[in-house]
A and B are shown apart, each in its own frame.
Chain A
Amino acid sequence: MEINGVFIEDTYAEAFTMQASRVLITALNEKWALEAARSMTGFATSVIGCGGEAGIEGIETQETPDGRPGVNVLLFGTSKKNLQGQLIQRIGQSVMTSPTSACFNNLEGEEWVSVGGKLRFFGDGFQISKVIDAAINGHRERRFWRIPVMDGEFLVEDKFGIKSAVGGGNFFIMGEQVEITLEAAERAVDAMKKISGVIMPFPGGIVRSGSKVGSKYKFLIASSNTAFCPTIRKQVPSQVPDGVNSVLEIVIDGMTPEAIEAAMKVGIQAACIPGIKKISAGNYGGKLGKYHFYLRKILE
């Protein structure tokens, strides 16, 4: 299969189950909602080293609970406990600290974890609980905590919904030079950002240091994906074709497999520009995750 002369390899991206949450951050204006969201999603590229994976899903288009501008953040963790910890840390350190912010759950979860219920203790006894009854919320009650802070109050929802989701969707863009490969990757990310329910957690949505499971060093759980490193292509069993001198990967976490497929489709299509030789994907022989995204099937 080719798209605009770019060869699409007959392979699949292998992804695995993660736990996901959707956090709605509001503020006095969009600028400060985004500031808080950027801070919350900082240093959240990979669970390998960051504890969680996070990204800005987009500006909330519906009316937010407090009627102010809002930004949705998706945060992924390896387990319920891991995700709860990440929510508490990131909302506590990055959202509560951000001027005028408030923080709401924006996911009807399969399970619920206490977040505001833990952060409330910052109020040192002056925190106040407010409950919106199930009768007027529609189906379940919602509790909020008002924590006194220096610009007024930080309002945070007591419990956040979490659900099983998919982490590690990916594809590789293989180009003649780094400049054109980066341009293709940027085009891909721009297209993928229009799909809701997905994030690309790496810087600008793009990762250059793709990893494989394990290492020659016993203390490392992951190491450079040597098969896709052009500089050592003659020293390892390489998957870098002749004429390719730069490979960039786009990693996708999604709320559903369908959202990942939709994002991969538009991303790959956007990346197929002159100078790109091949699109491939990373997998581990089906041993790592239960989700297999076949490139050609997605693009059909």
Chain B
Amino acid sequence: MILLKLKEKYDIPIEAEVISPDIFFDKTHTELCGLPLYYGNKEKKLGEVFEVEGEKSDQIYLEGDLSKIKKIGFGMSRGKISIKGNVGLHLGAFMKGGEIFVEGDVDSWVGAEMTGGFIRIKGNAGNRVGGIYRGTTVGMNRGTIIVEGNAGYEVGSFMRRGLIVILGNVGDFTGSYMIAGTIFVFGTLGARTGAGMRRGTIVTFNPVSLLPTFKYDTTYTPDFLRVYFHFLKKQGISIKEEYLKGPYRRYHGDISELGKGEILEFAA
């Protein structure tokens, strides 16, 4: 395992996309310390910003207030990053595989446009969890994100595949323009949930204010939900017995688009 301990708190963001198991796994301690980071527009070495212990491993442990450290695990495809402390923007963006665990809060764009892997946040997350960068048309495309706290707006926007689970509340435009995939929100939803969604599933356990472009279909208990619950329980997430039993109100939409998306609202 490689341990990175932040030497001091920074106010200016540091771009740290080199902090990735793909890059670390074959580097000696000297090579690790010499990896470049960008402090504003100036280059710094990893060894200047962090105390570095260990070498040649794809298991990375970070400690400290990393809220200004951006792009950790950017594009990673293997290994594991564990973080104790808050983390900055773009954590695990474009991630392809491996795992990231955070004991703290994360800023926006966590797991943006990821295509695989697993991210779990013990605290809150910012905006656009599993979302999309402006200018592209497909967001998260496989992988799983679990946020145990709250999340901001545009969760899973333009999502193509994958699973996002938010145990707390979320902001507006959750699942907007979703192409497919699944979003669970155990807390409350903001406004305009599913706006423009073509396919995909948003599951909510609280009453949701729906756009007029969503139409009620039926009230039932989908078997596939229990399959998801089965796997979420394996992740240590407690699922209320009543959620297993259902039923759920199914609304399809957004009929201003393809209209094959669905919002499942717990109906008990």
CA–CA, A97 to B195, complex, Å? 35
Q: Tell me, yes or no, whether B227 is within 8 Å of chain A by CB.
A: yes
Contact of B118 among A128, A136, A144 (CB under 8 A): A136
A-contact 0/1 string along B214-236, CB 8 Å cutoff: 00001011111011111110110
A67 interfacial contact with B, CB 8 Å: yes
Contact in complex: A128, B116 (CB < 8 Å): no
- The interface residues of chain A lying within 8 Å CB-to-CB of B201 are 128, 130
Q: For B232, what are the chain A residues with a Cβ–Cβ distance below 8 Å?
A: 136
A133 and B143 form a contact (CB under 8 A) = yes
Instruction: For B163, give its contact among A65, A67, A136 (CB under 8 Å).
Output: A136
Complex Cα gap A152–B161 (Å): 23
For A135, A137, A144, A153, the residue with the greatest tally of chain B CB atoms inside 10 Å of its CB is A135
Residues of chain B with a CB closer than 8 A to A129's CB? 180
> Known contacts A67-B244, A102-B223, A144-B224; is A133 also within 8 Å of B144 by CB?
yes
Contacts of B142 in A (CB 8 A): 131, 133, 141
Let me know if B229 and A67 touch, CB within 8 A: yes
How near does chain B come to A147, taking the closest CB pair, in angstroms?
11
Complex: how many Å from CA A126 to CA B116?
26
Q: When chains A and B are docked, how far (Å) is the Cα of A133 from the Cα of B162? A: 7
A259 within 8 A of B: no
Given A133-B143, A135-B99, the answer on whether A65 and B222 have CB atoms closer than 8 Å is no
What B residues does A163 contact at CB under 8 A?
A: none
The listed residue (B99, B118, B221, B224) touching A130 by CB distance below 8 A is: B224
A63: CB under 8 A from chain B?
Answer: yes
User: Is A132 on the interface with B (CB-CB < 8 A)?
Assistant: yes
Q: How far is the CB of B170 from chain A (nearest CB, A)?
A: 20
User: With A and B bound together, what is the CA distance between A257 and B116 in angstroms?
Assistant: 39
Number of chain A residues whose Cβ lies closer than 8 Å to a Cβ of chain B = 25
Binary contact track A207-222/B, C-beta < 8 Å → 1, others 0:
0000000000000000
Kindly supply a per-residue 1/0 record for chain A positions 135-170, scoring 1 wherever the CB is within 8 Å of any chain B CB and 0 otherwise: 111000100101000001101000000000000000
Find the B residue at minimum CB distance from A101: B223
Q: Report whether B228 and A132 are in contact in the complex, using a CB–CB cutoff of 8 Å.
A: yes
Contact call A152/B220, Cβ cutoff below 8 A:
yes
Which of B99, B224, B229, B231 meets A146, CB within 8 Å?
B224
- Asked, given contacts A66-B226, A67-B244, A155-B223, whether A132 binds B143 with beta carbons under 8 Å apart, the answer is no
B227→A66 contact, CB < 8 A: yes
A113 to chain B, nearest CB (A): 20
B182 lies within 8 A of chain A by Cβ = yes
Cα(A68)–Cα(B180), bound, Å: 27
Q: B180 — which chain A residues lie within 8 A by C-beta?
A: 129
- Is the pair B116, A135 in contact by a Cβ cutoff of 8 Å? yes
Interface string of B184-217 (1 = CB under 8 A from A): 0000000000000001010000000000000000
Most buried by A among B143, B227, B231: B227
Bound CA–CA A52/B260 (angstroms): 38
Q: Once the chains bind, are A153 and B222 in contact (CB under 8 Å)?
A: yes
Can you give 11 contacting A-B residue pairs, CB < 8 Å?
A26-B223, A67-B244, A68-B223, A128-B262, A131-B162, A131-B163, A132-B227, A136-B118, A152-B220, A152-B222, A152-B223
- In order of increasing CB-CB distance, the 9 nearest A-B pairs are A135-B118, A66-B226, A155-B223, A102-B223, A133-B144, A135-B144, A65-B227, A152-B220, A66-B223
User: Interface on A for B, CB 8 Å cutoff?
Assistant: 26, 63-68, 102, 126, 128-137, 141, 144, 146, 152-153, 155
Residues of B within 8 A of A (CB): 99, 116-118, 142-144, 161-163, 180, 182, 199, 201, 218, 220-224, 226-232, 234-235, 244, 260, 262
